[in-house]
């Protein structure tokens, strides 16, 4: 990662049985990589292996190749044994592209499920 890091805000809230991670800022690969590492650190710190990511990043959807590179290019950032419910709350983002990213992630061993709403994600995590 070169240059000045893009700004973003990350909030981690411990909930019964999972961590609720809220992130906002610019929709860039750098932001996603940085918050993803912080999310994994929070899991380790809290001893939790279930996470709800509520992402509200501003800007256009990432290109499919950018998504693929984020998921495939950093095996050291793969969340071993962490179950992730992922919600992108920005209605401007392309849900089909997010489904592509979900498929790539699952094919790489991520335990990740994409949801349209936080409520759906919470219900899914409660059943895990």
pLDDT tens-place string over residues 54-90: 999 999 999 999 999 988 876 666 677 899 999 999 9
Q: Looking at the DSSP assignment, which residues form a beta bridge with residue 50?
A: 83
Q: If you write DSSP's letter for every residue of 67-96 in order, what string do you get?
A: HHHHHHS-GGG--TT-EEEEEE--TTS-HH
CA distance linking residue 50 with residue 4, whole number of Å? 31
CA distance linking residue 44 with residue 10, whole number of Å? 16
Which domains, from first to last, does the chain contain? 8-104 (3.30.750.24)
Q: Looking at the DSSP assignment, which residues form a beta bridge with residue 58?
A: 26
CA distance linking residue 15 with residue 121, whole number of Å? 13
Give the pLDDT score at 1. Answer: 44
pTM: 0.89
């Amino acid at each position: 990662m070169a240059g000045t890091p893009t700004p973003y805000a990350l909030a981690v809230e411990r909930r019964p049985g999972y961590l609720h991670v809220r992130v906002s800022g610019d929709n860039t690969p750098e932001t996603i990589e940085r918050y993803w590492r912080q999310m994994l650190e929070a899991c380790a710190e809290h001893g939790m292996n279930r996470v709800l990511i509520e992402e509200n990043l501003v800007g256009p959807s990432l290109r499919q190749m950018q998504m693929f590179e984020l998921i495939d290019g950093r095996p050291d950032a793969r969340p071993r044994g962490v179950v992730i419910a992922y919600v992108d709350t920005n209605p401007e983002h392309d849900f089909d592209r997010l489904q592509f990213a979900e498929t790539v992630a699952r094919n790489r061993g991520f335990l990740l499920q994409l949801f349209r709403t936080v409520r759906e994600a919470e219900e899914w995590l409660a059943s895990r």
